[in-house]
A and B are shown apart, each in its own frame.
Chain A
Amino acid sequence: MSIDYQKLALPYAAPAECHSPEVAHRPVIVVGGGPVGLTLAIDLARYGTPVLLLDEDDKLSTGSRAICFAKRSLEIWDRLGCGEAIASKGVSWKVGKVFFGDRLLYAFDLLPEAGHRRPAFVNLQQYYVEGLLYDHALAQPNLELRWKHKVVGVEPSDECVAVTVDTPDGTYRLRCDYLVACDGSHSPVRAMLGLEARGQVFRDRFLIADVKMDSDLPTERRFWFDPPFHRHGSALMHRQPDNVWRLDFQLGWDADPVAERQPERVIPRVRAMLGDTAAFELVWCSVYTFSCMRMARFRHGRVLFAGDAAHCVSPFGARGANSGVEDAANLAWKLHYVLRGHAPDRLLDTYCSECERAADENIAHSTRSADFLTPKSETSRVFRDAVLDLAREHPFARKVVNSGRLSTAAMLADSPLNTPDVDPFDGAMAPGTAATDAPIEVDDRADWLLNRIGGRFVVMHFPDVIDRNAARALTEAFGHDMRVWQGDALHVDSLLVHPANVSASAVDGVPAVTDAEHVLAARYDARPGTTYLFRPDQHVCARWRSFDAEAVRHAVVRATCNGVV
């Protein structure tokens, strides 16, 4: 029997600190136990940094809320050891269909190639994601979770952050080196510091109706402009686990948000969509508006902001929770390296520069989608309708139709942590890109590249080999070169990739894999000698056409801000 994560009361414990004059010091306090805070806390704990997570509530997400979790989020959770639990509970999909009236305008496939462990998306109620992350968090020895511990004061100084926490048993104080606010779009921490997120509020309202029903409709994202069952608005349909379907209706700005979520108003809309004879049960309703906004800076001294606390987008494109999970993965290794003394504090500034830019891109996509769905002027409505009209007959116009451009991994193209290419490369895996997955074999067993990289800097090298003995010799030589790093704080791991005809096995502690289907080399435009450097969060930060330990060392120094300023 599965746990009902919606009803689960998370255990509250009275803090020992209430009765102690000592103010305890923590390396990192994470505020907020949503998908972003939990991901960050687990990631930090697994690196070996002790984390305290504080949440004002003792419940997981109320209602299904975010339901579309992207491939990149799943890959991050795979690295943390809970990707399988989340992905297997979710419903996989990759095809979207866009209708105008009752006609299919076009379909899109978000992952048209095989050879990836994870699908483009899984749909899963947010409370399941949080519940599965919570279960995984409980298993982390370095992670302490405190529910109903509400942060009511945050006072940063040059040396630390003083935190005041309110509980049912009284108030206590803590200090920490860094505090990360993952406390949502209304971020109380942000307000306590007198900071704000700025941007654009869209004058439109949407109804979410989650219904439970048996249906043999395909698992795909369906989006309608001006459908016969909901004239002059848009509508969306998505499958979730447990036979729950997400229905979304555009209501317009003048809709009454309270009246519209009453069952007597919702049920006729659902019936119009599903047919008069459809048997369904309403499980959750919500009327929402949305905005696209961000904080000017995601870092204020020793306080950092991640997820919705730092940036908000419209739901069309599934860029909210997914970008927050990427924030968490980007920040975790940097905080760990800084706290361990492996990198200077300014490495944390690159969290800001990388994730602020990613947020701008998400906001740009989200704003464009919102402008298409909710035209802001009569003229923009005329153009929108003209695009839809033309799209019936003209394929070019279908490319302009925008029902949400769906979340893809952030491309950190301009990051100061990247070593720019000096050698010519084709393909997508430029420095800044999140590593693309590929099927591999390890000791003749099928595996995935992304299972073999991440958590540390990893050098992936494609040696020039023709047979197994040569492979062994090269593996040993490579291992010798890389031993330069042993004992070094930066812990660079290595991974050798052998071609299909060479069975790989680890030699002298240097792991090796076989590119049995030649997919890995193709996706990374690899030739004999090609070398990639991955960051702990699996982003590519350098690549070369040959292996040079000194070049790798320089790239690692650069990617950890250990160079001379």
Chain B
Amino acid sequence: MTELNIEANLALPDDFYEALIDAHRDLDAAQSARVNARLILLLANHIGDLDVLREAIRHARAGIDAECGDIP
């Protein structure tokens, strides 16, 4: 089983972040939500491995659940 890579892996972190924010420029919240959804689907397909995706989903949600006092 491949594991989700949570070590630093971005070649150019600042460039990536700038590109991500640029992708949402001049969009309203609904349009941004659409862009985000498409982006997630495209990246998920690139990753492919369901174990990795599930692990990423778990990490993405972990802090949110903590706000409800539910730490997995």
Let me know if B41 is at the binding interface, CB within 8 A. yes
Tell me how far the C-beta of B19 lies from the nearest C-beta in chain A, rounded to whole angstroms: 19
Contacts of A400 in B (CB 8 A): 41
Which one, B34, B42, B45, contacts A382 given CB within 8 A? B34
Q: Which listed residue (A379, A389, A390) contacts B33, Cβ 8 A? A: A379
Q: How far is the CA of A379 from the CA of B34 in the complex (A)?
A: 9
- Residues 22-61 (chain B) with a chain A CB within 8 angstroms: 33-34, 37-38, 40-42, 45
The docked-state distance in angstroms from the alpha carbon of A389 to that of B36 is 13
B residues near A394, Cβ cutoff 8 Å: 42, 45
Q: How far is the CB of A400 from chain B (nearest CB, A)?
A: 7
- Nearest chain A residue, comparing its CB with the CB of B38: A386
**What chain B residues lie within 8 Å of A397 (beta carbons)?**
41, 45
Is A387 within 8 A of B41, CB to CB? yes
Q: Using Cβ atoms and an 8 Å threshold, which residues of chain B touch A382? A: 33-34, 37
**Residues in A whose Cβ lies below 8 Å from that of B33:** 379, 382
Interface of B is mostly: helix
CB distance from B10 to the nearest CB of A (A): 23
Give the distance in Å from the alpha carbon of A379 to the alpha carbon of B40 in the complex.
13
Contacts of B45 in A (CB 8 A): 394, 396-397
A385 within 8 A of B: yes
A-B contact count (CB 8 A): 25
The reply to whether the CB of A383 lies closer than 8 angstroms to some CB of chain B is: yes
Residues of chain B lying within 8 A (CB to CB) of residue A385 = 34, 37
Q: Shortest Cβ distance from B40 into chain A, in angstroms?
A: 8
Query: Which residues of A, 422-465, contact B by the 8 Å Cβ criterion?
Result: none
Interface hits, A369-399 → B, CB 8 Å: 379, 382-383, 385-387, 389-390, 394, 396-397
- A390 in contact with B41 (CB, 8 Å): yes
For the complex, give the distance between the alpha carbons of A397 and B38 in Å. Answer: 10
Which residues from chain B contact A390 at a C-beta distance below 8 Å?
38, 41-42
- Provide the residues of chain B in CB contact with A379, threshold 8 Å: 33
Min CB distance B27 to A, Å, is 13
Q: Within the assembled complex, what's the spacing in Å between the Cα atoms of A400 and B37?
A: 13
A contact residues around B42 at 8 Å (CB): 390, 394
Q: Give A383 to B33 CA distance when docked, in angstroms.
A: 9
Residue of A nearest to B37 (CB): A386
The chain A residue with its CB closest to the CB of B30 is A382
Q: Which of B34, B40, B41, B42 has the most CB of A within 10 A?
A: B41
Complex contacts, B38 vs chain A, CB 8 Å: 386, 389-390
For the complex formed, measure the closest distance between the CB of A362 and the CB atoms of chain B, giving whole angstroms: 21
Chain B residues lying within 8 Å of A387, measured Cβ to Cβ, are 41
Q: Could you tell me the distance between the alpha carbons of A400 and B33 in the complex, rounded to whole angstroms? A: 19
* Chain B positions within 8 Å of A396 at CB level: 45
B8 to chain A, nearest CB (A): 28
Query: Distance in Å from the Cβ of B1 to the closest Cβ of chain A?
Result: 21
Taking the closest CB of chain A, its distance from the CB of B66, in whole angstroms, is: 20
Residues of A near B41 (CB, < 8 A) are 383, 386-387, 390, 397, 400
Rounded to whole Å, the gap between the CB of B33 and the closest CB of chain A is 5
| Cα of A382 to Cα of B39 in the assembled complex, Å | 12
Bound CA span A386–B41, Å: 8
A24 to B70, CA, bound (A): 60
Which single residue of chain B is at the shortest CB-CB distance from A387? B41
A385-B34, A386-B41 are known; give 15 further A-B pairs, CB within 8 A: A382-B33, A382-B37, A383-B37, A383-B41, A385-B37, A386-B34, A386-B37, A386-B38, A389-B34, A390-B41, A390-B42, A394-B42, A394-B45, A397-B41, A400-B41
- Residues of chain B touching chain A, judged by Cβ–Cβ distance below 8 Å, are 33-34, 37-38, 40-42, 45
Instruction: Report A's interface with B, CB cutoff 8 A.
Output: 379, 382-383, 385-387, 389-390, 394, 396-397, 400
Residue contacts A-B, CB under 8 angstroms, 24 given: A379-B33, A382-B33, A382-B34, A382-B37, A383-B37, A383-B40, A383-B41, A385-B34, A385-B37, A386-B34, A386-B37, A386-B38, A386-B41, A387-B41, A389-B34, A389-B38, A390-B41, A390-B42, A394-B42, A394-B45, A396-B45, A397-B41, A397-B45, A400-B41
